[in-house]
A and B are shown apart, each in its own frame.
Chain A
Amino acid sequence: MAVRNTESYVTGAVNTAAGSVPVVATSLSRGDRIGSWKARWGMGRMSYTIPPGLYATGAATAESPVLVTANYKMSFDRIRVALAGVDAWILVLDTKGINVWCAAGKGTFGTDELIHQISETHLSEVVSHRTVLVPQLGAVGVSAAAVRKGSGFRVAFGPVRAEDLPEFLGAGQKATPEMRRVRFPMWERVVLAPVELVMGAKYAALIAAALVILSGLGPGFYAMDRIFHVGLATGGFVILAFLASSILTPALLPWLPGRAFALKGTWIGIGVATLAWWVTRDAPGLTVTLPGTISWFLLLPALSSFIAMNFTGASTYTSLSGVYKEMRLAVPLQIAGAVVGLGLWVTARFVA
């Protein structure tokens, strides 16, 4: 408790039969916002945690509801902001800094940890009722029946989104069908792009660098001037295809034709290849040869298809069986596209 009281979001303490519980702010400070922004860009994202245990909002009493969440700071921030003006308890499980849904999939946000924290915090002495409200997506890891057996507490599954909590609580802990559905609207998709960019950047840079180095190849074996001509153009288009697919896949997801993500991404690569062909159509040595032109249309879609396929993990509606199915077809095609494309691209250096 002593350690938890030093955190910036703690504004006070409330005394309970089980000891002092920190009261937390229900608005975000500048530090909270900067922390969120950094996590979105992959900075310290895996250690963006808060100490597990019990917290309070407002003037929580023995009758106040208990809301369960993960110890990923962004999850915790979402719930305390949603509880502005509400007297409640927040029970934070130790999910190793992973959000509720992903942690539930791994089992860390699960039955055992919930029972453990209920006992660890002496929750039955803090509140007079015997209900804990678990976010609906936590149901992936929490068996309500097993929690009841193991702790005496009934699990009620709350809404998917923390922002619906006031309405849910106000309606006597009843969720509308709309509150129970996972959506994936534009903003929720786009906000995931930065971390995709950061995670893919080093691979894209390696591919681009390799092509820049290879671009010196050609008649007369190796020439530095070709690096500045062919090399930088090629590297530039690879980077452009990487940026376009990392940003446009989330942004345009519903409108990219096809259901398989690998197919959705292919269109982006074709778009960038078309652009590459258009801007270099009068530049000797780049794409004026047929092999050169074709190589763009193989290399760039292979790359963008792969990047879009990796967005399946960030999306909210793909199944393991579905991803297996699309990978069985897409991965061999991506590899073939990359290998044949590279072969043609090198060939083009000699016939130009």
Chain B
Amino acid sequence: MFGLRYLKDVATLEMYTDKCTGCRKCITVCPHAVFTAEERTVRITDRDACMECGACALNCPEEALTVRVGVGCAAGIIQGAARGTGPTCGDDASGSCCC
């Protein structure tokens, strides 16, 4: 599975290292092991593995993480463009959702 890597240098994940207290909640919630714990802090060590799900930023008590959250779904982007909205993962009325 670890052979499955997506595009390099695109993920928008950023960390304000001065705000990080090393609580490691981001490490707990990250599904792609983007972060590594250091003695008193946490560092982004694999940004290219980030899928921009936003779990880390939502659960960071210090608001030390920012990321443009979204679903990496071409069908959602096309659907959003067709409707003039942002990317959308189906809507409840149309009953079509790819996930």
Q: Which residues of A contact B (CB under 8 A)?
A: 46, 96, 98-99, 101-102, 104-106, 136-137, 139-145, 157, 160, 175, 177, 180-185, 199, 253-254, 259-261, 309-310, 312-327
Contact = CB atoms under 8 A, between A and B. Distances in A.
Contacts of B71: 102, 105, 313, 320
Contact of B29 (A46, A136, A323): A136
Given A322-B6, A322-B7, A139 B77 contact: no
A319 B50 contact: yes
Contacts, number: 145
27 contacts: A104-B55, A106-B89, A139-B55, A140-B53, A140-B54, A140-B55, A140-B58, A143-B58, A144-B25, A184-B4, A185-B1, A199-B98, A259-B6, A259-B7, A261-B74, A312-B74, A313-B72, A313-B73, A314-B98, A315-B4, A317-B51, A319-B51, A320-B87, A321-B70, A322-B10, A322-B11, A325-B7
Given A318-B72, A319-B11, A325-B7, 12 more contacts: A102-B97, A136-B28, A144-B59, A160-B31, A309-B74, A315-B4, A317-B49, A320-B68, A320-B69, A320-B70, A322-B11, A323-B74
Interface of B: 1, 3-8, 10-12, 25, 27-33, 49-55, 58-59, 61, 68-77, 87, 89, 92, 95-99
A102 B69 CA distance: 13
Given A145-B59, A324-B77, A180 B7 contact: no
A352 to B, nearest CB: 36
Nearest to B49: A317
Q: Which has the most chain B C-beta neighbours within 10 Å: A181, A184, A313?
A: A313
A137 to B, nearest CB: 6
B32 A253 contact: no
A137 B72 contact: no
Nearest to A177: B33
A314 B99 contact: yes
B31 A105 contact: no
A327 B74 CA distance: 8
Contacts of B5: 259, 317
Contacts of A260: 7
A261 B96 CA distance: 22
Contacts of B72: 312-313, 315, 317-323
A93 to B, nearest CB: 15
A261 B58 CA distance: 28
Contacts of B55: 104, 136-137, 139-140
Q: Which has the most chain A C-beta neighbours within 10 Å: B8, B55, B76?
A: B55
Nearest to B12: A321
Nearest to A46: B95
Contacts of A322: 6-7, 10-11, 72
A117 B87 CA distance: 29
Q: Which has the most chain B C-beta neighbours within 10 Å: A141, A175, A323?
A: A323
B67 to A, nearest CB: 9
B92 to A, nearest CB: 6
Contacts of B12: 321
A246 to B, nearest CB: 13
Contacts of A314: 98-99
Contacts of B68: 320-321
A182 B7 CA distance: 17
Contacts of A140: 53-55, 58
A313 B74 contact: yes
Nearest to B92: A96
A320 B59 contact: no
Contacts of B99: 98-99, 101-102, 313-314
Contacts of B69: 320
A321 B11 contact: yes
Contact of B32 (A102, A105, A181, A309): A181
A310 B74 contact: yes
Given A317-B49, A322-B6, A180 B74 contact: no
B5 to A, nearest CB: 6
Contacts of A261: 74
